[in-house]
Amino acid sequence: MSALKLEAENFYGNIINNCASVIMIINSCLRIEYINDFGVKIFGYGKNELIGQPLQPSIIPHQDSEGNLIDMDKIFSENCSEAYQECEHQTKQGTRLWLCWNCGLYNNQSNNAKQIICTGINITGHHLLHQTMRKQQLLAVKADRLRSLGEMASGMAHEFNQPLTIIRGAAENLLIGEQRGWDISSEERIERLEVVIDQTARLTELIDHVRSLSNSNSNSEKVPVDCRELLESALGMVKAQIYSRGIEIETDIAYQGLKVIANPFSLEESILALLYNARDAVQESLAKHEGKEAKIYLKLSRLNNGREICIELRDTGTGIDESIRDRIFEPFFTSKAPDRGTGLGLSSAKNSIEEIGGKLELESKLAEGTTIRVTLPAIGEN
C-alpha cells in the first residue's frame, strides 16, 4: 500500500511540478510554504531561496509595481473560496513579468492550519502587447486631436479674414485721408477707430475660443449649455471653410433656451466632428458627381414635450455603404484615406454624447446622403 501511495505521490508531484503554471502555498504570515518547479524556474530562484520567504520583496517588487497581489489578509479573514488578480512580479535577475493568479483558501488537515493555494499563469506577452496597443491608441487619439485642431485652424483662417479686412480698410482710410489732407471730422475718426476695436475684440474672442477647445481635456466640468449658442459657435468655426468649398449650409436653429447639462467644449467638439464628416462626404460626392447638390442642413428642435433636444445634421454626400454601416462608430474604423482621418471622430462624438445621457443615431443611403440625429436630455423650462 505504501508503494502505491509513493507511486501516486510521485505521479501527481510530477504533474504539479511540470505543469505550465506557477503553484504556491501561502501561510497566514504571508510567507511561501511551497512553490513548484515551474515557479522556481520562472522566478529564477532556487527553491530554498523562496521557501519561508515573504511574498514581498522576494517576488513582488517594493517599488514601481503596476499591480498588487490579491489581498491575502482579506482571504484569510473572510474565508474567500476564490479570488482573481493580475499582478506584476520580478525575477531574481530583476526582470519584470506579469502573472494572472487564482487563489483560494483551504484547511490543511495535517496541522489544521489555514493556507492559500495560488496558481499563476504567465501573461507577460499579453500584457506587453496590451500596453503597446494602448500606447498606439493614445498616439492615435493625440493625432486625431491635432488633426481636429488643424481643421479648426484652417477654418479660423477664413474667419479671421473678414475682421482683418475690415480693420485694414478702416486703417487705410484714415491713413490715406491724412496723406491727402481730407477733412475727416472727429466723429468719423472715432467711428472708424471703434470699428477697429470691435473687430479686434472679435479676433480675441475667436482666439480664446480655440484655446478653450484645445484645452478642453483639462476642464471636464458639466454646466447648463444653451444648444443654440453652442451650434452657432461651432458653425462660426467652420462655416467660412465649408462655403469656400462650394458647399451651402442651411440652418433652422431658432429655438432659444434649449439647454442640456454637459461639458460645453466636449459637446462642441462632437458637433464639429459631425460637421467635418458631413463636409468631407459632400466634398467627396462633388468630386464624383459634378453639378450635384452640395448642401448641409442643421436643425435644432424639441422632442417629447420639451423633455428632449434633437440636433439633426443632414448632408447630400456620398452616403455610407450598408456593408460598413454597423461599424461606423467603432474606434479607429474609417472609410477615408489614411491621411484624412484616424477613425476616432464619430466614435469619440458618440461616447461624449452618451456620457451626458444622449444618443446618436444614423440613417444613410448610398449616393444620396446621411442624416445624423443627436438626442439630448433637456433641463429647465424648454
164 inside domain: yes
For the chain, what is the mean pLDDT?
A: 81
Better-scored residue on pLDDT, 68 or 311:
311
* Last residue of one domain, picked from the residues 64, 92, 122: 122
Please state which of the ranges 35-39, 143-147, 261-265, 350-354 shows the lowest mean pLDDT.
143-147
Q: Please indicate, yes or no, whether residues 41 and 178 belong to a single structural domain of this protein.
A: no
Count the domains in the chain: 3
pLDDT band at 337 (very low <50, low <70, confident <90, very high): low
Q: What is the pLDDT of residue 198?
A: 84
* Last residue of one domain, picked from the residues 196, 214, 232: 214
Q: What is the pLDDT of residue 209?
A: 66
CA distance 207 to 309: 29
Segments forming the whole domain that contains residue 153: 143-214
136 inside domain: no
pLDDT band at 215 (very low <50, low <70, confident <90, very high): low
Q: Please indicate, yes or no, whether residues 117 and 22 belong to a single structural domain of this protein.
A: yes
What's the start-to-end Cα distance of the chain, in Å? 86
Q: Please indicate, yes or no, whether residues 196 and 247 belong to a single structural domain of this protein.
A: no
Q: Please indicate, yes or no, whether residues 100 and 22 belong to a single structural domain of this protein.
A: yes
134 inside domain: no
Report the CATH number that the domain containing residue 109 is assigned in CATH.
3.30.450.20
Q: Which residues are within 8 A (CB) of 87 and not within 5 positions of it... i.e. 6 or more apart?
A: 60, 67, 68, 69, 70, 98, 99, 101, 120
C-alpha cell at 2: 505504501
| Residue found by looking up cell 462642441 in the block | 268
Q: Name the pTM for this structure.
A: 0.55
